[in-house]
Amino acid sequence: MKRNINNPSSQQYNFENFTSLSCDMITKLVNRTCFMELFKNLTSQADTSNQTGVFLLINVDEFRSINDIYGHSVGDELLHRLAVLIQDTVINFDLIKYYTSSASIVGYLGSDEFGVFLPERNKEEGIRLAEEIRQKIEKTHFAGIPISSTVSIGIGIYPEHGSSTSELLTKTDAALYRAKEKKGNCCHLYLSEDRVLEQMHSRLEWKDRIKNALEEDRISPWFQPILSLKDNQIHHYEALARMEDENGEILLPTTFIFMAERFNLVDSIDRVITKKTMEFQAKLSKEGSDLTFGMNLSGKDLESRELLSYLQSALASTGADPSRLIFEITETAAVYNLDAAIKFIRELQSLGCRFSLDDFGVGFTSFIYLREMKVDFIKIDGSFIKQLHENSYDQLFVKAMVDVAKGMGIKTIAEFVETEETMKILKNLDVDYIQGFLIGKAEPQIQQPAIKIR
């Protein structure tokens, strides 16, 4: 693959051996199949010449939310702009080492990921390029796109971290997962201590783990109390998904929901949690305890007639009291397909179920949507609550949400309440209910609140 250094505007490849080459229509980069073929060819060349190389796996942070909030056309345009920026950055980086015999390759791997392979480069050069890409994206605001974006980048070194493309990809993927665990917008070089992460978070392995957990009935609801600030009593419990792994360890949703969404398994998890919660509610009712439970539904569930039928059937078969069930949907998901959300809500409300709009305040936050959806509760996003005691603007926003909600007959819930000071402020702001570690953590069985409110 001889580099044409007289034409720096594009990368030059010798594609004689790649007659099936095709490009992704959105990004105009080589697609995953072609990238992996080129990647394998370059590593085999490097192997015979004892050369090193660097693989970068680039993931767009919160891309799913961008699609949900602004629509797929904006998401596609963002991918195209990012592809141009990444490719131009790599081309310019290659020109610094113009005597390199092989040009770097940039490809679109699907969904929200890009791949870059840098032949004849060392670890320091790979880290430098990764950080340059990350910083450029962080600082760039693309014209016509109403949101800034960041990326997480995993870095793997050939052959140090893998002498085959599959091995290198697995380790670089583990590095990327570590970067995502750090809240994104960072680069992470694969380290030996990431070996457990590599084994635990391999995507295909996670798919099998979640499927096995579903088949072996190892996914269950845990219940977190939600306290009424009016009478200091537990109003209801939120059912939160927990997965028991092969060794009996209980995994939090942050560990597996991301992968479940990627492999379209989150719908199955929703069904398990809702069915088990309905059964639990019905059981407690027969024992004389009429408790209310909230359950989460993922965004795309709202468009599913099949799910609606499933929930209607589950209500009938379990004998659960619909008036004791609250379904939680995120604000961004509801607004993304408002008509479908309204229809979904209306049909279950007609049976007596209630609805809560989760993460309120971080999406469109238009009270017009509240009027149309006619939900029963809004859950004020935790980002407004965590620093409430020291941020007067957050207090102002919370008060505005509470005042309008009350005028519309909607109850308010504040999540992530962890201190008595925050609780007192929320009570003064006339918030109806609070949820968080101050009141109680999620447990497999019903627990009394951790604090007595005076």
Q: What is the DSSP string of 398-437?
A: HHHHHHHHHHTT-EEEE----SHHHHHHHHHTT--EEEST
pLDDT digits (tens, 9 = 90+) for 387-413: 898 889 999 999 999 999 999 999 999
Domains and CATH numbers, the chain: 32-200 (3.30.70.270), 204-435 (3.20.20.450)
- Based on the number of CB atoms within 10 Å of its own CB, is 368 exposed (0-12), middle (13-18) or buried (19 or more)? exposed
Count Cβ atoms below 10 Å from residue 255 Cβ, excluding itself.
17
Helix (H, G, I), strand (E, B) or coil at 243: strand
CA–CA separation, 339 and 189 (whole Å): 45
Q: Which residue has the tokens 């791997």?
A: 109
Distance from C-alpha of 60 to C-alpha of 58, rounded to nearest angstrom: 7
pLDDT digits (tens, 9 = 90+) for 406-450: 999 999 999 999 999 999 999 999 999 999 999 999 999 886 655
The Cα 285–Cα 202 span in angstroms is: 42
Mean pLDDT is lowest, of 148-162, 238-252, 343-357, 367-381, for 367-381
Which pLDDT score, from 0 to 100, does residue 55 have? 96
Q: So what's the pLDDT on residue 118?
A: 93
Average pLDDT, whole number, for the chain? Answer: 85
C-alpha pair distances (Å), 28 with each of 20, 79, 238: 15, 10, 45
* pLDDT tens per residue across span 353-394: 999 998 887 654 567 778 888 899 999 988 899 889 888 999
Q: What are the percentages of helix, strand and coil residues in the chain, rounded to 5?
A: 50, 20, 35
Q: What is the mean pLDDT of residues 206-234?
A: 93
* Residues in CB range of 127: below 8 A, 6 or more apart: 155, 187, 189
